[in-house]
Amino acid sequence: MPNRHAFATLLLLLILACPGAWATGDSLSAVFKRVGPSVVVVRTSGHLVLPRSGGQAVSVAGLGSGVLVDASGKVVTAAHVVQTADAVGVEFPGSVLVNARVIASDAAADVALLQLDQVPAGIVPARLGDSDQAEVGDPVFVVGAPLGIAHTLTAGHLSARRQPNATYGGITPTELFQTDAAINQGNSGGPMFNMDGEVIGIVSYIMSHSGGPEGLGFVVTSNMARRLLLDEPSVWNGLEGYMLVGDLARAFNLPPRQSGLLVQRVAKGSPADELGLQGGSLPVRIGDEALLVGGDIILAVDGIGLVDPGAYEAIRRRLIRLQASGGSVSVTILRGGQSIELTGSVRRRAPQAARDAGLR
């Protein structure tokens, strides 16, 4: 009995003296070494039209993170990182820059899929895990480029599972994880891994009073990203918008009982750009929201009004069919108080070369 007590005491002292050896430190290091090379920095080039620019487009650079998920060169990232980018480049460890194009995006769920021109030799894709198997309290880690510092690891736990809830002006439900792993600007689109090295989420946004990490990071689940980007057909339109409903719709002089999508930004060469849609140029703040006003307001797509029940999903599926068939689409907009109908095709664009866009 005394021997057992002595052994237990010695074991406890060893644990207290060397916590890293008994916790997940060593295994976390090993997992990071295995999956780290699949994590990329996503660099973008875009433009804004602001009043002080005299109506001229001003070039802006963007930065986020992403993860390679198959050997053919598909990278998952956040939609808000690439949705209105004129050019996209992906940087692997060793500052290897590869040209990319957006091939699928769901702005409402904040996930997007890139296709690379090539994958550097020796890079093993990360595996998308089953996010349904994750439990609150599980250890997790995030890898990305916070504030542009590439391949930074932050660790924490799965803090909560947020069941599908309407987002983006009530358009579509999005399933989210909450985590206390530190997340900063530049982490958006990066992977959240479980301790098996499987991607169980894609970083979306943080809630913060200070602008820094406060343990309230939100991550789109891997199962939702898989369904929207890989299992089902999807499209990219190159448009960022803000949904106007209720009092806000009336404030923008929309017709009675109408909803609309206020166009914020449009990527050059995108389907939205080829349709002739125009983004906003005047920055304003309405409540807690920072918006660009002065752009078009979309009321309907191919006769499907944005106020109609299930409009977002119906429009998404319509655009998928048109992209496959090469057909044209009509969009009803408000511009300068007048109702206008724009018509054009839905097709994939050829990407601008990342190096030509100065992405470094």
* Residue pair 226/202 in contact by the 8 Å Cβ criterion: no
Catalytic residue among 45, 65, 80, 180: 80
Catalytic residue among 188, 204, 222, 234: 188
Of 242, 254, 270, the residue nearest 335 (C-alpha): 254
Catalytic residue flag (residue 308): no
* Residue pair 330/322 in contact by the 8 Å Cβ criterion: no
Residue type, 85: A
Residue 323 token pair:
């992209």
Residue type, 11: L
Catalytic residue flag (residue 345): no
How many Å apart are CA 154 and CA 141, to the nearest integer?
Answer: 6
How many Å apart are CA 156 and CA 170, to the nearest integer?
Answer: 30
Q: For the chain, what is the largest distance between any 2 Cα atoms, rounded to a whole number of angstroms?
A: 90
Catalytic residue flag (residue 70): no
The residues, any chain, with a CB within 8 Å of residue 340's CB and separated by 6 or more, are 332, 333, 334
* Residue pair 311/304 in contact by the 8 Å Cβ criterion: yes
Helix H or strand E encompassing 229: none
CA 80 to chain centroid, in Å, comes to: 5
CB-CB neighbours of 169 under 10 Å: 18
CA 218 to chain centroid, in Å, comes to: 11
Helix H or strand E encompassing 350: none
- 260 bridge partner residues: 244
How many Å apart are CA 164 and CA 169, to the nearest integer?
Answer: 14
Helix H or strand E encompassing 322: helix 311-325
Residues designated as active site: 80, 110, 188
